[in-house]
């Protein structure tokens, strides 16, 4: 029993009006969710750092006005995204919060300068920039929230490397894109339905959702990322940006693997890529096993078999082991995992 939990309404930037859980306090409500480990959404007041952050309090439990003119609008998106991610991991994978101990985490919106186009998992909390206000709105979209919280899950489990650790950084980023996408699908909000685009709702002007931070099925369309594993693996010369290995480029291999495993080599809704353009090896007749099974395989591999130094070939082995555990080593699911990895040139 959560005696202080109260059902409120979020007037969000990206999802329309949604239900939120807040906490009753004297004279009103505060944006803390007692039903999900007291996860709290705060206003970072456009500071870099969180020491000046303040709680969101409200008299009528209606948060925001569907526009950035009310600072609580972005908070409503973030608070909802955290709840959706908490529920996804609990209901689908039996994981009780990021740390599997029932604790909620803090989310800071309006973090950093007013033009910050980024969001981060800090190791213990989430922070969301406001975007530049021209091309990008605050980065509080559902798949971005799921992506950032999944970094926390990875940090509490496989602890996959990140910068300067070649394949594992890509697997780390891909894990976050995969779960961000599965969170988006799990909600099924009409204003932000599930898709294999990352951050499409962050664009202020995006008719038909043709723009995204990443296209999971064809990340190399950005001219920088990889959708096929290079022969010989990733090297510094391929993926270094600004003197650092960028895991957002090598994640495209894991992202396409997941798309092919879940959906098959099929043209994504709203795009015209042919099956031949979605595979690296000409295997154009791959059928998907569905998001639920693909997600279960990835989660089991992440939490049982991936470690900090896991490479893409080792991820193939780990996900095959996970598929064998869940469905048997002669199952269609096991064969589908092998085929999807081969289709991104991970052999
Ligand atoms: N938004 C980015 C991410 O979560 C921040 C970063 O580069 N770590 O991937
Ligand atoms: Zn990330």
Burial class (CB in 10 A: 0-12, 13-18, 19+), 128: buried
339-343: long-range contacts (C-beta < 8 A, 24 or more apart)?
Answer: 339/260, 339/283, 339/286, 340/257, 340/258, 340/260, 340/261, 340/286, 341/257, 341/315, 341/316, 342/281, 342/283, 343/256, 343/257, 343/260, 343/265, 343/279, 343/280, 343/281, 343/283, 343/286
3-state secondary structure 11-38: ECCCCCEEEEEEEEECCEEECEEHHHCC
Least-confidence region, from 53-57, 87-91, 180-184, 219-223: 219-223
Q: Which atom of ligand 1 is nearest to the CA of 119?
A: 1
Q: Residue 39 domain-assigned? A: yes
Closest-CA residue, ligand 1 atom 9, reads 173
Closest-CA residue, ligand 1 atom 6, reads 120
How many domains would you assign to the chain?
A: 2
The answer to whether residues 131 and 11 belong to one domain is yes
Q: Residue 181 domain-assigned? A: no
| pLDDT tens per residue, range 88-107 | 999 999 999 999 999 999 99
Q: Of 224, 212, 235, 294, whose CA–CA distance to 261 is shortest?
A: 294
The reported pLDDT for the residue numbered 166 is 80
CATH of the domain at 45: 3.10.170.10
Q: What angle do CA 152, 153, 154 make, to 5 degrees?
A: 90
The answer to whether residues 12 and 132 belong to one domain is yes
Residues of the domain holding 334: 201-342
Cβ 161 vs Cβ 173: under 8 Å? no
Cβ 31 vs Cβ 157: under 8 Å? no
Q: Of 115, 188, 105, whose CA–CA distance to 148 is shortest?
A: 105
Ligand 1: centre distance to CA 120 (Å): 5
3-class secondary-structure state, position 171:
helix
Helix, strand, coil fractions of the chain, as percent rounded to 5: 40, 15, 45
The answer to whether residues 252 and 335 belong to one domain is yes
Q: Residue 75 domain-assigned? A: yes
Ligand 2: centre distance to CA 244 (Å): 15
Ligand 1: centre distance to CA 61 (Å): 32
Which of 81, 112, 116, 119 to mutate to test ligand 1, by most ligand atoms within 8 A of the CB atom?
119
The answer to whether residues 123 and 237 belong to one domain is no
The answer to whether residues 206 and 296 belong to one domain is yes
* pLDDT reading at 109 higher than 60: yes
β-strand pairing of 106-109 with 39-43: parallel
Q: Give 192's DSSP letter.
A: B
* pLDDT reading at 191 higher than 60: yes
> 120 CB under 6 A from ligand 1?
yes
User: Span 123-151, mean pLDDT?
Assistant: 98
The reported pLDDT for the residue numbered 240 is 67
Q: What is the mean pLDDT of the chain?
A: 96
Ligand 2: centre distance to CA 3 (Å): 36
CATH of the domain at 296: 1.10.390.10
> 240 CB under 6 A from ligand 1?
no
| pLDDT tier, 3 (very low <50, low <70, confident <90, very high otherwise) | low
> 119 CB under 6 A from ligand 1?
yes
The reported pLDDT for the residue numbered 163 is 79
| pLDDT tens per residue, range 18-77 | 999 999 999 999 999 999 999 999 999 999 999 999 999 999 999 999 999 999 999 999
Q: Give 125's DSSP letter.
A: E
Q: Of 141, 104, 110, whose CA–CA distance to 125 is shortest?
A: 104
> 118 CB under 6 A from ligand 1?
yes
Q: Residue 196 domain-assigned? A: no
> 148 CB under 6 A from ligand 1?
yes
ipTM of the complex: 0.96
Residue 330 is encoded by which pair of tokens?
């002669």
Packed helices 166-187 and 71-93: angle between N→C axes, nearest 10 degrees: 100
Domain final residue pick, 88, 122, 140: 140
> Has 148 been annotated as catalytic?
yes
* pLDDT reading at 242 higher than 90: no
Based on DSSP, count helices (H) and strands (E) in the chain, helices before strands: 8, 15
Packed helices 166-187 and 142-156: angle between N→C axes, nearest 10 degrees: 130
d(CA 97, CA 37): 8
Domain final residue pick, 102, 117, 140: 140
The answer to whether residues 119 and 219 belong to one domain is no
> Has 200 been annotated as catalytic?
no
Cβ 308 vs Cβ 338: under 8 Å? no
Q: Residue 231 domain-assigned? A: yes
């Amino acid at each position: 029993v959560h005696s202080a939990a109260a059902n409120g309404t979020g007037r969000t930037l990206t999802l329309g009006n949604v239900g939120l859980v807040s906490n009753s306090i004297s004279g009103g409500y505060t944006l803390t969710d007692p039903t999900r480990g007291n996860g709290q959404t705060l206003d970072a007041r456009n500071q870099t750092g969180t020491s000046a952050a303040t709680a969101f309090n409200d008299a009528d439990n209606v948060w925001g006005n569907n526009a950035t003119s009310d600072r609580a609008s972005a908070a409503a998106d973030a608070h909802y995204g955290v709840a959706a991610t908490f529920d996804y991991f609990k209901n689908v994978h039996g994981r009780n919060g990021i740390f599997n101990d029932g604790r909620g985490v803090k989310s800071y919106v309006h973090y950093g300068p007013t033009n910050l186009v980024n969001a981060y998992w800090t190791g213990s909390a989430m922070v969301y920039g406001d975007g530049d206000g021209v091309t990008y709105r605050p980065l509080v979209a559902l798949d971005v929230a799921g992506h950032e919280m999944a970094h926390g899950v990875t940090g509490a489990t496989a602890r996959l490397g990140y910068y300067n650790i070649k394949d594992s950084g890509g697997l780390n980023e891909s894990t976050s894109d995969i779960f961000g996408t599965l969170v988006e699908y799990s909600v099924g909000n009409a204003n932000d339905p599930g898709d294999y685009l990352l951050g499409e709702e962050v664009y202020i002007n995006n008719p038909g959702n043709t723009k995204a931070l990443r296209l999971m099925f064809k990340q190399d369309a950005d001219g920088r990322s990889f959708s096929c594993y290079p022969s010989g693996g990733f090297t510094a010369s391929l993926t270094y940006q600004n003197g650092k290995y960028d895991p957002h480029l090598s994640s495209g291999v894991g992202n396409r693997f997941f798309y092919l495993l879940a959906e098959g080599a099929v043209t994504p809704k709203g795009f015209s890529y042919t099956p031949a353009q979605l595979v690296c090896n000409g295997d154009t007749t791959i059928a998907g096993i569905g998001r639920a099974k693909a997600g279960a395989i990835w989660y089991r591999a992440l939490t049982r078999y991936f470690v900090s130094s896991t490479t893409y070939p080792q991820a193939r082995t780990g996900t095959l082991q996970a598929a064998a555990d869940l469905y048997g080593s002669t199952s269609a699911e096991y064969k589908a995992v092998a085929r999807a990895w081969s289709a991104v040139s991970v052999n």
